[in-house]
Amino acid sequence: MLSTTITQILANSSLTVDEKVEKITGELHSYPDKGIAESIEFIMNTDDANAASYPANYLALLPNLQKEKRKVVENILDSKPYLMSAITNLVKQLPDDVIERLIDDYFKDSSSSDLYNVIFEAASFFPEKLHTHAPRIEHKYIKELILPGGPDSWVDDLVNEYLKNKSPEYLKQLAGLRTDKALDALLTLAPRVPEEDLAQLYAYIESSGVFPNTRLASVYFQSYRGYVVSRGESPHHMGGSFPHPVPKCLVTNTPANRILTLDVSQVDLEIESAYNPSFFWYESDYSPDCLYVRFTEDGLQGIATPMTDGEVGTGLIPGELALKLEAYPLKYGRGGSAVPGYSNHQVGGYPSLMRFERFPRCAVCGKGMRFLVSIDSGMTPFGRLGFDGILYGFWCDDCAVSCTYRQSDDFD
């Protein structure tokens, strides 16, 4: 039985946590139904929150399954509240009424560490549901997470606080709101911001939706959440072969992996180019800050990077896979600083950044490039992605240029 196999893997003290995750994920995904029924059964029958987290985290990697995920969470809420920490990664995929129940439970016992993890996720993916609770929230990080889409009164308060003491922290909080009024406030404050803070202010403005010098859009406002799936399940391809040469490392000749090719005919984005944006990356001791390529009638051209003779890297994406997209209800994006390694993939919308930094400029025309995709590190149903941090993809539609840029924890 699979439950026995999972128990044996968990009991194997010679395995690291990451190795246990990979083995359990592989076992579950090998089942005819992708291990869905087996995951639910295991969670329903265990009293060990740590053990339950493994199949629950696996379910979070799979698209759809809203009824099944709801069933798991409601069973824990009704019968086994001591397993709450296990379902943390399922929170982002729950319906509104279950989220509201989780929020109510949190404010009945806000000292619970298990409930804190759950409310952290609820604040990340349903910030608007916590706006009315803002006066009751004491945790700094939760306060940051619920900023997106906040009321106009928050903008007025933050502007007044900034004008009193000129702390850049209030500019950062305004950037977290991402409403039209908050963006207007950042632009209006720019002439009064000290010169040493201007670069950071411009980064805040770009993450809020426009380039400060042109007022042109810096993001694609329609947003999708992504799940790594097998090649036949989505037209948005990851890994595998690619019909053109790809970038390679100048020093080691390591060929880049195709991280994602976005089929723009299948998404509701304002992309008019005749080319499907593709993003590439390679891992070496000499990985670049940004990796630029240009799409032309003659194929793919590297910009400030050598190209292979046709070889494509295969070490970062575990197979010929694809990214399945579903509409993302986060109108104003996620708040706070992104934490990598949780498989939170995104197309369109506002970027969830580890650090506020200015967006790349097109290597052809010099204009700011719009944020288009982010591919997080972490597990997939097929194995772990082979890079650290988060890869962000930017696109210049006029020049058909893509830029892949990474943020990670090893930043100096």
What are the residue ranges spanned by the domains of the chain? 2-140, 152-207, 220-407
- Cα 29 to Cα 24: distance, rounded to the nearest angstrom: 9
- Cα 77 to Cα 94: distance, rounded to the nearest angstrom: 13
Residue type, 222: Q
Which residues pair with residue 396 across a beta bridge? 401
Tokens standing for residue 291: 């990796």
Q: Closest by alpha carbon to 143, among 172, 115, 164, 108? A: 172
- Please report where in the chains the tokens 């995709």 appear, as a residue: 373
Half-sphere exposure of 117 (CA within 13 A, CB side): 12
Q: What is the pLDDT along the chain (412 residues), one digit of tens a residue?
A: 667 888 999 999 999 999 999 999 999 999 999 999 999 999 999 999 999 999 999 999 999 999 999 999 999 999 999 999 999 999 999 999 999 999 999 998 887 777 889 999 999 999 999 999 999 998 999 999 999 999 999 999 999 999 999 999 999 999 999 999 999 999 999 999 999 999 999 999 999 999 999 999 999 999 999 999 999 999 999 999 999 999 999 999 999 999 999 999 999 999 999 999 999 999 999 988 899 999 999 999 999 999 999 899 999 999 999 999 999 889 999 999 999 999 999 999 999 999 999 999 999 999 999 999 999 999 999 999 999 999 999 999 999 999 999 999 875 4
Give the pLDDT confidence of 1-16 residue by residue, as tens digits: 667 888 999 999 999 9
pTM of the prediction? 0.96
- Cα 119 to Cα 174: distance, rounded to the nearest angstrom: 22
